[in-house]
A = this chain, B = another copy of it.
Amino acid sequence: MGRAEQREATRRALLEEGRRRFAAEGYHAVVLNEVAHAAGVTKGAAYHHFGSKLGLFRAVVEEVQEELGAKVAAEAERHAGPWEQLRAGCRAFLAAGTDPAVSRILLVDAPTVLGWDEWRAMDEAHSARHLTEALRALVDAGLMADVPVEPLARLLSGGMNEAALWLARSGDPDAEVQAALALDLVLGGLRSGAA
């Protein structure tokens, strides 16, 4: 095995093991030494690749963010019309939130570990950007009241985050239906405000 492949292999191993543990135990409960040994290397490797425990976490967050953003966007693309796309994207986000890798890492730990500013910047670069664009498109098309898009996006984004966490907890299979109903009410309310 060449040197470049070896490097990428250990990097992947650390990333995956870190992701597992961060999702299961939370950032602070995870000890880097154990992550490294579970990945078949030592702490030194982790510091060589990521610089710090926070660096590893940041890389994991980035990966999960990217996956989530792609999944939501893909689900939205499967529908036609701005309203249907927005609705589909929101539902996909809620469904994805049941994954601990998303709920625990992205929604609970990331804001306080990375700091709210950096977290928000990453969120903006992936998921929230689509939301903002979707809202802007609706306003421009005259399909929604001309309200400031940015705070509205924050309002919806935060609401979805919280709802996803709520959904992830209550194992109730009916919860997803209820959440979808509540979501439809809110989105439908925005729609009616067009006139």
Contact = CB atoms under 8 A, between A and B. Distances in A.
A156 to B, nearest CB: 6
A112 B108 contact: yes
Contacts of A188: 189, 193
A155 B169 contact: no
> What band does the interface of chain A fall in when counting residues whose beta carbon is under 8 Å from B?
35 or more
Q: How many copies does the complex hold?
A: 2
Contacts of A145: 185
A5 interface: no
Which interface residue of A108, A154, A188 has the most chain B CB atoms within 10 A?
Answer: A154
A21 to B, nearest CB: 15
B151 A155 contact: no
A159 B183 CA distance: 12
A18 to B, nearest CB: 17
Contact of A109 (B112, B157, B166, B192): B112
